[in-house]
Every structure is written in C-alpha cells, then in structure tokens.
Amino acid sequence: MKKISLLIAAVILSSNVVAKEWKSIRIGVEGAYPPFSQTEADGSITGFDIDIANALCAEMKAKCTLVKQDWDGIIPALMARKFDAIIATMDITAERQKKVAFTDKYQHIPARFVALKDTGYEATDEFMKGKNIGVQRATSMDLYISDNYPSAKIKRYGSADEAYLDLKASRLDYVMADSAAITGGLLEKEGGDKFEFVGPQLNDPKWFGEGAGIAIRKKDKDLAAQFNAALKEIRANGVYKEIQDKYFSFDVYGG
C-alpha cells in the first residue's frame, strides 16, 4: 500500500523532472504543402520546412528522423508520441496552445484567398453567402472562414492540393491558404495562370497568431529551449537566409 501511494505521489509530483538533452528527435512533417513541404516522385520529402528542420538539427548536433503525417492527424500524432516536434508551417494559435506548446516563430506568411480571374471579392458575409470556399481542415484559415463567413458553404479538405483540384474543377469559388503556398502549389503550376489572388493579405493575430512555430508536447520545455537557441543561431549565421532565398524572393520571417 505504501509503495502504491508513493507511486501515486510520484506521478503527481512529476514537475521536477531533470531536463534531458535531446540527441535524437523525430520530426513530423506534412509532405503535401509545396513549397514548404512536398513529396518528390521518388518518395523523398523536400521544401522550406524540411531544410529548416535539417539546419536546426545540424545546429543542435541531434540525429533527426522525418516522419510524414497527414495534416489532419498531425497534432494527435504528436500527442501520441509518434514524433516529438512538428515543423509544418503551423501557425501559433491560442486554440492549438490549449493542446501543445510552441517554440518562437520561424516564419510568418499571411493567408489569402485565391479564385478564378475576374471572380470579384468583398470581405462581407453577405457577399460570401452561398459561395463555395475551400480550405484545409484544422488550419487557422479554417477557423477564420468559419468565424467570419458563416453563411458561406465551407468545404474542408485533407490537404491544400485536394482543394486546388476542386477549385480547378469549378466545385469551389474560393480557396484560402498561405499566400506563398498558393503561389507554389497552384499559381506557378500548370493551368495556374487562370487564377489570381483576391482580397488583402490576412494576418490578424486573433486567428493567425504570431506566425508559424515548431509544435512540441507541453511537457518537453527543454526541447523548446533547444530549438529556440538553434533558431537564433541559424538566423544570426546566415543559414536561414540561404534557405529562404532558395524558395522565396521575399522575407518570410516577417517583422
């Protein structure tokens, strides 16, 4: 009985865990959000997020394994310990912070609507009434549209690519995603010249947070500290800029 109560006490008092240094880290990535993360024909994963992940691991001298996971299940998978961190252009939002913790931001890109040219756009629920808007499920954009355009017909997809397919098939009037993802995943691809951005760049912190960070389990504060230190270092030594220039012609870190 005494042993059991000791065990129970141990579980309750688990706050004084000694910080451990992470030497091998499993990182969850999406692999379906070009140019941040995409799967090549041979099965390898490339993109901005991937390069950042590798740079951070090199900086921390840690052995990293990339684990591909559909966006839908990426936070549950983190909590289920399928991997230890998520580097997948995930906005630091209050909603997510209820479940997971974040490092400092590593990029900040505004969200935007895209539509067939000459579609027109007004930022009112009245205008959007009955319009088909496509968005990736479980994103900050999903919440933004649900809150601001309740009268629109919101269609939620597993990946941004699926939404682009239905936009091309004219099942959708608008798609909302990160502006750089729309450029890389739709506008610059074959048949993308028929589409254009509509409306302003959106980055209201109420929905989109302060940018995208690396998500980790709330308990692993030591891992967050390790990532933050490495992030500062690659920002300072020019590695970050090198990666950025490989994919974008503008500053993705934001002010």
* Chain residues in the site for other proteins (CB under 8 A): 6-7, 10-11, 13-14, 17-18, 20, 69-70, 72-73, 75-77, 79-82, 95-96, 99, 137-138, 142-143, 155-157, 161, 165-166, 168-171
The residues, ordered by sequence, that sit 6+ positions from 24 with a Cβ below 8 Å of its Cβ are: 62, 63, 64, 65
Q: How far apart are the first and last CA of the chain?
A: 58
Q: Which is nearer to other proteins, 80 or 236 (CB)?
A: 80
Smallest separation (angstroms) from other proteins to the CB of 30: 12
Q: Which is nearer to other proteins, 218 or 241 (CB)?
A: 218
Closest among 183, 196, 250, 251 to 34, alpha carbons compared:
183
Q: Which is nearer to other proteins, 127 or 143 (CB)?
A: 143
- Rounded CA-CA distance 70/31 in Å is 8
Smallest separation (angstroms) from other proteins to the CB of 137: 4
Smallest separation (angstroms) from other proteins to the CB of 217: 10
Closest among 114, 162, 118 to 136, alpha carbons compared:
162
Unique residue bearing structure tokens 């895209």: 114
Smallest separation (angstroms) from other proteins to the CB of 156: 6
Q: Which is nearer to other proteins, 99 or 129 (CB)?
A: 99
The residues, ordered by sequence, that sit 6+ positions from 156 with a Cβ below 8 Å of its Cβ are: 134, 135, 136, 137, 142
- Rounded CA-CA distance 77/14 in Å is 23
43: left (phi over 0), alpha (psi -120 to 50) or beta: left
- Rounded CA-CA distance 140/134 in Å is 13
Q: Which is nearer to other proteins, 53 or 75 (CB)?
A: 75
Q: Which is nearer to other proteins, 135 or 231 (CB)?
A: 135
Smallest separation (angstroms) from other proteins to the CB of 165: 7
Smallest separation (angstroms) from other proteins to the CB of 14: 6
